[in-house]
Amino acid sequence: LVSRDHHPERSTVRVGGVPIGPRTVTLIAGPCAVETPEQTLAAARMARAAGATLLRGGAYKPRTSPYAFQGLGETGLRILADVRAETGLPVVTEVVDAHDVDLVASYADMLQIGTRNAQNFALLQAVGAAGKPVMLKRGMNATIEEWLMAAEYIAQRGNLDIVLCERGIRTFETATRNTLDISAVPVAQRLSHLPVIVDPSHSGGRRDLVLPLTRAALAVGADGVIIDVHPHPEQALCDGPQALVDRDLEELARVMAQFPPML
């Protein structure tokens, strides 16, 4: 269903009216985690100032440590809905449990499947039946074939509004949090008709790498990028070191403008 063999034209997925696909380069930005209404609104304004047309933000955070901030849950979803009403930016947010899919879908414009759940087949089937577009991150240990098969689980439930997101894979390298597999972008675009975007924030895990990796992603033809921003990253409850700050936004907008869609 997601293969290009039977669907040679590359697809465009619409999220709250915003297109992601071959004739556009979409910027999704926002906080890694929803922490407070003020922080989320400030991050959404930063995102919009940089040219983002979609807002990201996690209300359910799948953390390595059970002692780390786990997200605000439904309170966070409500904050996202309020910020959408205030800024007009449709919301992309993660769902981590099949039991929460209907709840999250009732607030979100797009459901995100994170790297840790990329082969949680029950969850993939549940989001496939939820009637909302899905952003499917690549599992940190998944081959491209496994990633596309994960997308197939969603598609099989009747939902072809899927955007693939390369977010870095596990390698022996420790200088970066993950290794951005830049070749995955054209490879996945050749194998699948689905749009392919890149997450340069979770790939490198470092603010200083976000803009170089964004350039790399757009240079190889990614259909968009998803980027963490935070008004006060030193106080962030999740992934502060990778969040862009105010002074980075002009440069981000310049980078986006340098890479118009590849037609």
Residue 227 bridge partners (DSSP): 29
Residue 71 · residue 112 · CB < 8 Å: no
Nearer to ligand PEP, 94 or 181 (CB): 94
Cα distance between residue 239 and residue 121, in whole Å? 27
Q: Does 166 bind ligand PEP (CB under 6 A)?
A: no
Q: Which residue is nearest to ligand PEP (CB)?
A: 114
Residue 109 · residue 15 · CB < 8 Å: yes
Nearer to ligand PEP, 22 or 92 (CB): 92
* Of the candidate residues 132, 137, 207, 230, the single one contacting ligand PEP (CB under 6 A): 137
Q: Supply the minimum distance, in Å, between the C-beta of residue 32 and ligand PEP.
A: 5
Cα distance between residue 220 and residue 225, in whole Å? 12
Q: Supply the minimum distance, in Å, between the C-beta of residue 155 and ligand PEP.
A: 20
Nearer to ligand PEP, 22 or 225 (CB): 225
* Of the candidate residues 15, 27, 32, 243, the single one contacting ligand PEP (CB under 6 A): 32
Q: Does 177 bind ligand PEP (CB under 6 A)?
A: no
Nearer to ligand PEP, 137 or 207 (CB): 137
Tell the residue number behind the tokens 């979803």, with chain if given: 77
Tokens of 192: 């699948």
* Of the candidate residues 114, 195, 224, 233, the single one contacting ligand PEP (CB under 6 A): 114
Q: Supply the minimum distance, in Å, between the C-beta of residue 58 and ligand PEP.
A: 5
Q: For the segment 46-65, give every residue that binds ligand PEP (CB under 6 A).
A: 58
Residue 18 · residue 54 · CB < 8 Å: yes
φ, ψ for residue 7 (rounded to 5)? -150, 70
CB atoms within 10 A of CB 183: 11
Measuring CA to CA, how many Å separate 70 from each of 79, 93, 117, 138?
Answer: 16, 14, 15, 21
Coil, helix or strand for 55?
strand
Nearer to ligand PEP, 100 or 199 (CB): 199
Q: Does 202 bind ligand PEP (CB under 6 A)?
A: yes
Q: Supply the minimum distance, in Å, between the C-beta of residue 165 and ligand PEP.
A: 7
Q: Does 225 bind ligand PEP (CB under 6 A)?
A: no
Query: For residue 260, with 0-12 CB atoms within 10 Å meaning exposed, 13-18 middle and 19 or more buried, which class applies?
Result: exposed
Q: Supply the minimum distance, in Å, between the C-beta of residue 9 and ligand PEP.
A: 28
Tell the residue number behind the tokens 């995100």, with chain if given: 112
Q: Does 198 bind ligand PEP (CB under 6 A)?
A: no
Report the candidate in 228, 238, 205 with the shortest Cα–Cα distance to residue 68. 238
Contact footprint for ligand PEP (CB under 6 A): 32, 58, 94, 114-115, 137, 167, 199, 202
